[in-house]
Structure 1
Amino acid sequence: MKVSRQGRVWKSALILAFILPSIAVRGLVTRDVVIVVLSQGDPYHASLAQNLRSSIQQQAHEANQVVPIVHLTHEDFPHPGVWTVVPLLSQLYTIHGSNSSWLIFCEGHTTIDLFQMLELLNKYSPTEELFIGHALRDREATIIHHFAFSNDPLQFRYPHFASGFAMSQALLKKIAYRLDCGDHPDMDFSIDPSHELALYIWENGKGPELTHASQLCLRNHPQCASYPLEFHACGNPVAKESMYFAVKTCSKYHKDRIPVVKHTWAKYVLHIGFYSESKDASIPTIDLGVPNTEHGHCGKTMAMLKHIAMIAPSLQDVRWVVIADDDTILSVARLRQLLSCFQPSKPFAIGERYGYNVQRSPQGYNYITGGGGMVFSMATVRQITGSTYCKCPSDSTPDDMFLGICLARLGITITHSPLFHQARPLDYAPEYLNPQLPVSFHKHWMVDPLRVYEKWFSKVDQQMEADYLAQKHVEL
């Protein structure tokens, strides 16, 4: 039967309609990508990362595709600065520079749709220097980003790590070359690795800016190639009786900061001590006999920990010790939920992780920045106070940094949680905070701490306290 020219055109169009999408999807296959999970080694976080790896492997198996290589950094790359990404890149290029098109980075609590990710990356060329992620922008210059771009913070984009981000093979090659030539990030302190990595890649305008991809999502929706899981408690919140809160203060702040603590989160704790350099019966404070210093506070913090270890026999139910500043704003309920995922019987320390010299050297170290709160198992407090490795060089030595050195010497790895915050809410991109259930913020400077507490923490603390009192009533 003779087919008209018009019929042949329609037939060709139909064939192309079926073929072209499959060609586009097949342009990039699972073996072309390597996935790097910025994982942690404690049982809870390791389990999240292992579940992510299993999910990726299962997706590939179900599609009869080659399983992509998935690295868990706590298993494959033992380096104190692995969480900042830069120390990984030369090694990743050596291993994968010639056998992959894209490196995909994410965190342990990221979810990845493998084939949505391939479809996204297939829109770009791996031979171009490309850095792709969900773009965050600061609304004002902030201390956590070293006040970069103070004239116009909105101009600079950096990726939301937990949403996942990708580097092309060409960009990885360039960065590996820079690092091999000794061109390392010019900073001693690592605070926010996403901003610092974007700055290093941008190279003062000589390198690529971040390409925003909305499919790397902040929350789950049907078009997402990846998104972060919201935190969920691992069981019942830890008992109020199991927590001791130690508030570090000084006479200068007894009258303005301590009332804020007492009118907000301290209402929901059973065991709390206010540690100062002087007695104040109106609070009351515990006089440590250590003079106050303008900076550092190592002597005071170590004296606090020794006092807690000393009174521990009278606090037999206490398993967790929380060290907070007098201008730390936190949620007791959220902290109780978070700690349900960890075991206090073993040495353990959690908070917001910073690093010193970790991008340039394996001899660098991590530490918990103190303002957002430091949480130790009682087993850790006993180890710190009983060790000859943990004696302060001076009273004014930075306490959080020295505790990082101390924990490293004791072989206790710091666990990072992004739910602790060293700065104020306005110091973070709203898109970064909004998907979170924060545990803490820090500082009263140019904010009303009562309003901060009311907005972020009051409701959840009140609800958990009501549940606690109802349970106590049932028990009676």
Structure 2
Amino acid sequence: MRPPARRCALLARLWLLTCSLAFALASKDVKEVTPSKNLEKSGISRKNDIDLKGIVFVIQSQSNSFHVKRAEELRKSILQQAADLTQELPRVLLLHELSKQEGAWTILPLLPHFSATYSRNSSWIFFCEEETRIRVPELLETLRRYDTSKDWFLGKALHDEESTIIHHYAFSENPTIFKYPDFAAGWALSIPLLNKLTKRLKSEALRSDFTIDLKHEIALYIWDNGNGPPLTPVPELCTDGMDAHCVTTFHSSLPLCGNPVKKEDIFVAVKTCKKFHDDRIPIVKQTWAGQASLIEYYSDYAESSIPTVDLGIPNTDRGHCGKTFAILERFLNHSHGKIAWLVIVDDDTLISISRLQHLLSCYESAEPVFLGERYGYGLGTGGYSYITGGGGMVFSREAIRRLLGSKCRCYSNDAPDDMVLGMCFGSLGIPVTHSPLFHQARPVDYPEDYLSHQVPISFHKHWNSDPLKVYVTWLAPSKEDKARPETRKGFEDEL
């Protein structure tokens, strides 16, 4: 389902224009902090001389077995580095273990827990992703530069080059003015700021209906229309790892666990309709369709020249729930034998099947896996997570078996298929598995620096762009598509 762009654009533009001006004024009060290579010589006040026990590490983990393994390896690395410093060990938490609440991955609902549990004996909450690599001694030195009695929101800064639908066209007059953290580099909250955010969360409920880009939305919430601090860029928090001063780095290669999944084990379903047969299907065939061993085009009209399969579901302009469930039932019950994986894409999705083969090698098809780019709806008030359809939805056969074995179905044929699937899997206790390599929008809708540390698997939408050029630039197979063999390279060797 597309983000509610029209509603957001109409309702949000006025106050966002006001926000741009307010942010510009607020930003002038923040002084840039220059890195210090040697604390002993820099004369840093001893009141900032925190120990590792003053840092609570939170790894933004997921409950899928592959992600649990990666998060546990990172936790082991952090604790081992701390032990080598002969200091009292810090707390290292895995996000997926902290709460059974569906919206825990959005982090804000957990801030009261962090405040109540750690604020008395800690100075920082440091968040990172499973693939973030941390030089713990150097991180400690970096954090010592900041007065822990003040409100700090630290990270590697990203910004939009132009207003974008995934950020509800925020700061449309000057999108570059608002900075938000690249989670891959790690980001931090000082305890005084954590306590203030907790107080605010207790007094007013979270209001956002949709969670689309968490890092941007967290930065907006913390900034609070100029009442809170903007992000302070920290040059030592990195993703490229090329600079000696970096205390964090991030892997940009594809994971590989054993051998890539065979093409014959991936069935690709393309959702289309008669009015797009002439415009969109040729682009699919000119770009990525040749990588797929098994592919079918599902439409509201059977056209032998493509060919398309008429599922008997009328096309609608609102949602495609009826069509998607018909595809799922056809895959499971009527054909395709024991194929392990099903991928459902739109006819304006651009995807790399070869990269997907590498990624899927790290997931167990015997487990119920529902994989793609994760969004959320109503998570502040007990809502659900879902995989947004435009970037591609990946299902293991077991996930489809459990779904169709339940009574959860579309409430109408034109219901939003991705959101209904999120509700259904949530009711079955099957979490969605997020990968940032799938993209609901176009490359221009994301910061260049954010995409620079990715090997993307998909993009979506053709409007105001050349889809052939997008495919060649971002997704076409190349020598640079290097996978990292997880089973052959130790975690410590990567540091």
Scaled by the length of structure 2, what TM-score is found? 0.86
Q: 2:352 is matched with which residue?
A: 331
Give distance in 1, aligned partners of 2:43 and 2:88.
17
Work out whether 1:187 is the aligned partner of 2:187.
no
Give distance in 2, aligned partners of 1:47 and 1:166.
24
User: Does the residue aligned with 1:395 lie in a helix, a strand or coil?
Assistant: coil
Give distance in 2, aligned partners of 1:28 and 1:295.
54
Cα shift readout 1:284-311 (whole Å, capped 9, x = no counterpart): 1110101111011111111111111233
Residues 338, 326 of structure 1: alpha-carbon distance in 2 compared, 3 angstrom cutoff: same
Cα shift readout 1:193-230 (whole Å, capped 9, x = no counterpart): 10000000000011100000111101113222212223
Confirm or deny: 8 A CA contact 1:319 1:377 kept in the other structure. yes
Confirm or deny: 8 A CA contact 1:333 1:460 kept in the other structure. no
Q: 2:268 is matched with which residue?
A: 245
Work out whether 1:107 is the aligned partner of 2:129.
yes
- The alpha-carbon deviation at position 252 of structure 1 amounts to 0.8
Q: 1:213 is matched with which residue?
A: 234
Code of the aligned partner of 2:305 = S
Confirm or deny: 8 A CA contact 1:348 1:414 kept in the other structure. yes
Q: 1:78 is matched with which residue?
A: 100
Residues 427, 23 of structure 1: alpha-carbon distance in 2 compared, 3 angstrom cutoff: closer
Give distance in 2, aligned partners of 1:213 and 1:20.
20
Q: 2:472 is matched with which residue?
A: 454
Aligned with residue 308 of structure 2, among 285, 291, 309: 285
Give distance in 2, aligned partners of 1:430 and 1:146.
19
Q: 2:174 is matched with which residue?
A: 152
User: Does the residue aligned with 2:196 lie in a helix, a strand or coil?
Assistant: helix
Give distance in 1, aligned partners of 2:349 and 2:104.
28
- The alpha-carbon deviation at position 243 of structure 1 amounts to 0.6
Cα shift readout 1:31-63 (whole Å, capped 9, x = no counterpart): 111111110011111111101110111011111
Give distance in 2, aligned partners of 1:149 and 1:211.
18
Work out whether 1:378 is the aligned partner of 2:401.
no
Code of the aligned partner of 1:375 = V
Give distance in 2, aligned partners of 1:410 and 1:138.
37
Work out whether 1:276 is the aligned partner of 2:295.
no
Q: 1:161 is matched with which residue?
A: 183
User: Does the residue aligned with 2:102 lie in a helix, a strand or coil?
Assistant: coil
Code of the aligned partner of 1:380 = A
- The alpha-carbon deviation at position 316 of structure 1 amounts to 3.1
Give distance in 2, aligned partners of 1:23 and 1:132.
18
Residues 269, 462 of structure 1: alpha-carbon distance in 2 compared, 3 angstrom cutoff: farther
Give distance in 1, aligned partners of 2:44 and 2:458.
49
Code of the aligned partner of 2:207 = D
Confirm or deny: 8 A CA contact 1:268 1:461 kept in the other structure. no
- The alpha-carbon deviation at position 22 of structure 1 amounts to 9.8
- The alpha-carbon deviation at position 19 of structure 1 amounts to 5.7
- The alpha-carbon deviation at position 24 of structure 1 amounts to 6.7
Confirm or deny: 8 A CA contact 2:373 2:436 kept in the other structure. yes
Aligned with residue 88 of structure 1, among 110, 115, 129: 110
Aligned with residue 451 of structure 2, among 433, 437, 441: 433
Scaled by the length of structure 1, what TM-score is found? 0.90
Aligned with residue 342 of structure 1, among 363, 370, 384: 363
| 1:356-435 alignment, distance < 5 Å | 356-358=377-379, 360-361=380-381, 363-389=382-408, 391-435=409-453
Q: 1:300 is matched with which residue?
A: 323
- The alpha-carbon deviation at position 463 of structure 1 amounts to 8.6
Q: List alignment gaps of at least 5 residues for structure 1.
A: 1-16, 465-476
- The alpha-carbon deviation at position 387 of structure 1 amounts to 2.0
Q: 2:332 is matched with which residue?
A: 309
Give distance in 2, aligned partners of 1:202 and 1:326.
38
Code of the aligned partner of 1:188 = D
Confirm or deny: 8 A CA contact 2:158 2:182 kept in the other structure. yes
Larger radius of gyration: 1
Code of the aligned partner of 1:100 = S
Cα shift readout 1:216-259 (whole Å, capped 9, x = no counterpart): 10111322221222332112110011010000000010001001
Give distance in 2, aligned partners of 1:177 and 1:414.
30
Work out whether 1:59 is the aligned partner of 2:81.
yes
Code of the aligned partner of 1:71 = L
Q: 1:125 is matched with which residue?
A: 147
Confirm or deny: 8 A CA contact 2:57 2:126 kept in the other structure. yes
Q: 1:9 is matched with which residue?
A: none
